[in-house]
Structure 1
Amino acid sequence: MLYQIKYILPLILSFCTLNSALYFHIGETERKCFIEEIPDETTVIANYKVELYDPRSGGFMPSSPGIGMHVEVRDPDDKTILSRVYSSEGRFVFTSHLPGEHVICMFSNSTAWFSGSQLRVHLDIQVGEHAIDYANVAQKEKLTELQLRIRQLLDQVEQIVKEQNYQRYREERFRQTSESTNSRVLWWSLIQTAILLVMGAWQMRHLKSFFEAKKLV
């Protein structure tokens, strides 16, 4: 039972983060980055909206069309898979080709257009089957309600399989790291022991030579 909980709990937690909405503030030259753990061959859709701070009202208002965001996405190998400037409101899409932590960075497309003010960026990240617009799919493929539901279930099963494979991948990487650490600790202990033995033998030989020179033995 404990073995099952060990593997089911991370899977449940990972599904809780498949659809995450948030907002953050950003200033001139600032760069905000987020880390998303994504399985391989998984589509990610992020919707965003930029608002400009209004000092007169003390709140945020819709930004002008000239204000945009530069979006950059890097995979676990630190390779850039998306780098593009978008408008003040819209969405960006990318597909992961490697499992692991993907870094999503957003920053302003200029450094002089809002005079040191602040922007509020609303960001909604959808991963896997959550990124699929099933209403649009049903309309394009002319699916009945039952067929659409079956399609949703198949997509969910496929996503669960990807998440399980990703959890196995993480466990394998963790085991490799643990084994490597244990091996390094073992070798360091052996090296320390060898150094102590060599130093002890050298000290005994030095003391023996000293006593013989003083004719104490």
Structure 2
Amino acid sequence: MSLNRILIFISTLSVVSALYFHIGETEKKCFIEEIPDETMVVGRYKVLIFDPQVNEYVPTTAGLGMHVEIKDHDSKVVLSRTYASEGRFTFTSASAGEHSICLHSNSSAWFASGQLRVHLDIQVGEHAVDYQQIQAKDKLSELQLRVRQLLDQVEQITKEQNYQRKREERFRYTSESTNNRVFWWAVAQTSTLVVMALLQTSHLRRFFISKKLV
């Protein structure tokens, strides 16, 4: 298999998500990204505002910005900063797990419409690396650059596999704990039924003896 085909195949396993969404002037929008440890994440965004005069979304005016807040799976703040209406934010995960990425406006009253459209592109792993800049900085040939990309992608896949392995371990532990609780709950139910049956039998026996039926 040629180097180009290997690169194309591995690149399909990497994480890239691009979307746009609408928010009001006081609304917050959050997204969850599962990120391995020591992984770079780059988010690029652009904010448009609805103009009722032309009935479409247009570029915002100066002064309008977005506040980006990122927390890890322990609710620890990784990044909290206000940016302009168009730009990018970058952070590197310290630990593997779910990271929440929240965006909201830096103002509560700009226009009467109060409706924004936010284009968001989140790139994780080697897709967050600017290889053209690396090539120019380190003076790499085309082949050297592709090998560098391949090594980064292999490293990212290894991180993904380690993260999935940890998730599988947590899921197995949760399943075993749940099964254990279900087992003891069944034992408790069975024991209760047995005790109730014995008490009921004893009560009926005393009742029959008192009535001289036996």
TM-score greater than 0.5 by the shorter chain: yes
Separation in 2, partners of 1:168, 1:82: 27
- The 8 Å contact of residues 51 and 113 in structure 2, kept in 1 or not, is answered as no
- The 8 Å contact of residues 42 and 122 in structure 2, kept in 1 or not, is answered as yes
Aligned to 1:5: none
Aligned to 1:15: 13
Aligned to 2:134: 137
Amino acid paired to 1:170: R
Matches within 5 A, 1:165-180: 165-180=162-177
Separation in 2, partners of 1:116, 1:198: 69
1:214 deviates by 2.5
Residue-pair matches, total = 205
Unpaired runs of 5+ residues, structure 1, are 1-11
Separation in 2, partners of 1:52, 1:116: 8
Q: Report the RMSD for the aligned CA atoms in angstroms.
A: 1.7
Aligned to 1:215: 212
1:40 deviates by 1.0
Aligned to 1:81: 78
Separation in 2, partners of 1:59, 1:110: 21
Q: Deviations over 1:158-201 (max 9, x none)?
A: 01111111121121122112111111111111111011111111
The alignment partner of 1:103 has SS state of strand
Separation in 2, partners of 1:51, 1:105: 17
Amino acid paired to 2:19: L
Aligned to 1:37: 34
1:37 deviates by 1.2
TM-score, normalised on structure 1? 0.89
Identical counterparts, % of pairs: 65
TM-score, normalised on structure 2? 0.90
Q: 2:152 aligns with which of 155, 161, 175?
A: 155
Structure 1 residue 110 and structure 2 residue 96: aligned?
A: no
Structure 1 residue 127 and structure 2 residue 118: aligned?
A: no
